[in-house]
Chain A
Amino acid sequence: MKLTVSKGELATKISMVSRVVPAKAVKPVLQGILFKVSDGRLTISATDLETGFVTEVREFNADEDGAFVVEGKVVDEVVRSMPGDQVHIEYDGISATFSSQKSRFTLPTMNPKEFPEFSPDVTGEEITLSTTQVETMLERTMFSAAKEEIMRNLNGVLWEFDSDYLRFVAADGFRLALAETTNDSGFLGTFLLSLNSMKDFLSSIKSASSDELIVRTDGRRVGFTFDGTQMVVRVVDAEFPNYKTVLPKDFRTRVVMNNDLFIEVLKRVSIAAKLGSETVKLEIRDEVMRVSARSSDRGEAVEEVEVDVKDGEDLIIGFNPKFLLEACQHIDTESVELNFKDSNSPVQINPVDVEGYLYIVMPVRLI
């Protein structure tokens, strides 16, 4: 089998699918990428049995149908490093030769029949979403998910379709991020997708050239179709906690201030907080917020910020500055709004005059 492919497109597609190729696998064939020509389509696939990709390479010429598997990480590196715009691939049943201009790579192949049976087609009704919308919502939430894979019910992003909204929720226990958009699809249901799969998904949809994203789910798996690529993700079999009961209400203190200024102040002050167990203290009195931190080996830092709006009671409260910072850094508006109840209750951080996302951060006890 002989193939000619556009190098740019091939490199993009390979690096997309090779994200799920595991570094170590029980079956060596799982470390491979399947190249397949049939019915006039060239597809490349990879899976770690949890997440799978099938993507179509549009610009190609092939002399016949055929399939082979080459090691994912190797072929990714090879194609990216090749000179020229075109890559010629020749498969002789034993090895695959990738050549471009004067450069030639001969790669050993694996048996395509051993490549796991992996059906990209997920049944279930079609939900059509906007790729850019989903991308934005993921970026606003994913960073709050628990990083530990062992905490399965928090190590991911919850997709929740209710009668009015589609919501993404992520939480690591100490903080929670929520982003929502109207749900016009009529689909109702929730599923939790792992953080790793969402990272792969996010970087794949970033390069999508069309804005249409089709989602299907059969309850066990979720299939995404976008821009000639199908991605299948297994739903995490763990229950996301009931976050609605913890969303704070009845605020007693509200502060609005310039977001960039607040970020700068937090960064400066937290230099004095001890690494690994940082605490910053916010003292809200009248129109001034005093931000301070101190630790035995890093001394003390204090900075006063004049706030634009202050409603309600004065308050003293402590936080891990990292959680405040990361939330504020995801606020897109010029001003940020902080809503407090008391020093033992979470703060809600949200943009001003814009709806659609908010952050909840739990305080720490002040020492």
Chain B
Amino acid sequence: MISELKIKRLPEDVVKKIAAGEVVTGPYAVVKELVENSLDANATRVEIEIVEGGKSLIKVADDGEGMSPEDLLLAVEHHCTSKISSLEDLDRIFTYGFRGEALASIAQVSRLTITTRREEDPTAVVLQVDGGERSSLKESVRQKGTTVEVRDLFFNIPARRRFLKSANVEGRMVTEIVHKFALVSLDQHLVYIKDGKMIYNLPPAGDLKERVVSLFPQVKRDALAELEYREEGIKIGGLISLPIWTSRARSHQFVFVNGRYVRNGLVLAAAERGYAEMLEHGRHPFILLQLELDPEMVDVNVHPQKLEVKFYEEQKVLDAIKRAIRQTLRKHYTLKLTPLPEEAVEKSESTFSVNTSTTPSQSVTVPELQRETSPKFSLFPRKVERIKQLVKPETYEVKVETEKKPVFHLTPFALMKNRYVLCEYEGGLAIVDFHALHERLVYEDLVENLEERTNPQFLVLPVELEMDELLKSTLEEQRDFLESLGFRVSEAGEKYSLVAVPAVLIGGDYTGVVYEILEELKLMGVLEKEKIFKNALASLACHSAFRTGDTPSLEDVTQMIKEMERKNLRTCPHGRPLVYYLEYSELDRYFGRS
């Protein structure tokens, strides 16, 4: 007796539908595929319309090349594409769509109508496909180009249809996709209509700034700087905002690789690192990165929706991005520098200075990106080298021509609100944020005397650490790092105890810091090691016992300001400015004196 086979081959149309679902994840994916097709067809005008978040209708019309009736029939077949004919071609991909699946997949799961006409054809043709069921070609009328209408997405896969989000959410996702196209297709006239309402009507833009500002009116043109960077095999263009414009969310950050939008957290993280200390914690700049890489350096075929890419030399690409941003910011601030009064300046190699001429609301203080490592006599050269490497200046700094730095001698004369110190200087009034300065000086001391300050002092009474599994594994992985900061942790069974803390914490509260630093160490791999180390040092500095009282005396303050001038410090460890300069010329202008 042969029992009936339990395992059956699925009917072919079911297989197709399942496969289609891989590519077509929702209305936004349909829009993406269709607009890519339009751009591939060299359209100069693309009109996108959705109704009900795209659930009932998605329509993309272009004035591109159009298709012949034969091509049209092929286009809705699986693995048919006009773009690749052999496997070797996979290595060099300059057009958007290439897997030959987009239209066919959409055809499987919707009611699809395509109307197309080539310039040379006398009439347009229209093809209807209902859930993969093709009707015959009919003649129709339209100008050169193609219109694709997708109705009732997933009408034949109720399970998928149910899982579509609300019309609002799906609509928002489509809008985001439209943003991304708008940012790369400057030459195209883009129209976006949502539920009958014109959302964007974007004529071809003269430059990227124009497009950005019309898409995101909250980002001001003045706050944008252009990226222009090139090295072997890598070209980086795009726009970034200066640190004066940031937002709480990351929603204004876009990465395009060879013109294709991709999701890549690493790239964005690298870009933000280019800002170094200029960004306040939790604030994100506008970033629009256009990477042009030799197609051999990048694999775009790792994700069905082509949203992710793989770089063959990832670190090289990430470093280039960081450098590009750093250079742009530097160049920007160098150009904007106002010359300081001759007697108050002195030649130096410092790369940054403070823009003292703008009005208070626009005033930008630029934190230095370089730390001077003064060659120091040291009796204890051993461990320091290894750790110093982590805090040494970045090596790829590009020397900018001789710059000027102010050597104002600030004379403090009053304290305000126990926070601000008013100082007089030749050029006017300077206001120093005392607490920020103090924090910075403690941090400096820590960095300068790293080995002594992080020498482990053992504890008479070990402190049991209460950690969740994540913290425990972080501790296990980063034990060396923690020990390089002077902590020692012992373990007995499941219990971990702190048995030594860095000398800098003697007299301070040493129990909380270790958790703070472990939290910081969790980011290992996400942030770079140097940054984590700096943050860890900032935490140590913050908890060290070197504190001044709530009410500093004017003498203390004077000492500290001298120290600040000697070391040419501009920002607190978190990148906030230390001094605000109010020039006499500013005052004169306000009071109408010349």
A residues sitting closer than 8 Å to B (CB atoms) are 147-148, 150-151, 154, 171-176, 241, 243, 246, 274, 276-277, 279, 294-296, 300, 320, 344, 346, 360-365, 367
Contact = CB atoms under 8 A, between A and B. Distances in A.
Nearest to B500: A365
B511 interface: yes
Interface stretch (B77-85, B320-328, B357-365, B454-462): B454-462
B510 A173 contact: yes
Contact of A279 (B452, B461, B504, B511): B452
Given A274-B449, A367-B455, A294 B379 contact: yes
**Which residue, of A151, A171, A176, has the highest number of chain B Cβ atoms within 10 A?**
A151
- Chain B interface category by residue count: 20 to 34
Contacts of B452: 274, 276-277, 279, 295-296, 367
Nearest to B457: A364
B466 to A, nearest CB: 13
B380 A367 contact: yes
Contacts of B455: 277, 279, 364-365, 367
Given A277-B504, A294-B379, A151 B509 contact: yes
Given A147-B507, A151-B511, A277-B452, A296 B459 contact: no
A198 to B, nearest CB: 18
Contact of B461 (A243, A276, A364): A243
B460 A346 contact: yes
A241 B459 CA distance: 12
A364 B459 contact: no
A295 B379 contact: yes
B471 interface: no
A173 B463 contact: yes
B531 to A, nearest CB: 25
Contacts of A154: 461
B377 A296 contact: yes
Given A246-B460, A295-B452, 14 more contacts: A148-B507, A150-B512, A171-B460, A174-B457, A276-B504, A279-B503, A296-B377, A296-B379, A296-B380, A300-B379, A346-B460, A362-B457, A362-B460, A364-B455
B453 A176 contact: no
23 contacts: A148-B507, A154-B461, A173-B461, A176-B460, A243-B460, A274-B452, A276-B449, A277-B449, A277-B453, A279-B455, A294-B379, A295-B452, A296-B379, A320-B503, A362-B458, A364-B455, A364-B458, A365-B458, A365-B500, A367-B382, A367-B383, A367-B451, A367-B452
10 tightest A-B contacts by CB? A277-B503, A362-B458, A277-B452, A241-B461, A148-B509, A365-B456, A176-B460, A364-B457, A173-B459, A150-B509
Contact of B460 (A174, A274, A279, A295): A174
A176 B503 contact: no
B136 interface: no
A364 B453 contact: no
B458 A176 contact: no
Contacts, number: 91
A174 B486 CA distance: 14
Contacts of A241: 461, 463
Contacts of A171: 460-461
Interface string B353-385: 000000000000000000000001111101100
Contacts of B379: 294-296, 300
B284 to A, nearest CB: 33
A76 B512 CA distance: 39
Contacts of B459: 173-174, 362
B268 to A, nearest CB: 37
A320 B378 contact: no
A351 B316 CA distance: 65
A138 B576 CA distance: 46
A174 to B, nearest CB: 6
Nearest to B511: A151
Contacts of B458: 174, 344, 346, 362-365
A130 B445 CA distance: 48
B393 interface: no
B546 interface: yes
A296 B460 CA distance: 28
Contacts of A320: 457, 503, 506
A147 B545 CA distance: 10
B508 interface: yes
Nearest to A364: B457
Contacts of B508: 148
Interface in B444-495: 445, 449, 451-453, 455-463
A360 B460 contact: yes
Nearest to B507: A147
A184 B509 CA distance: 37
A360 B508 CA distance: 19
Contacts of B451: 367
B461 to A, nearest CB: 4
A173 B463 CA distance: 8
B591 to A, nearest CB: 39
A176 B461 contact: yes
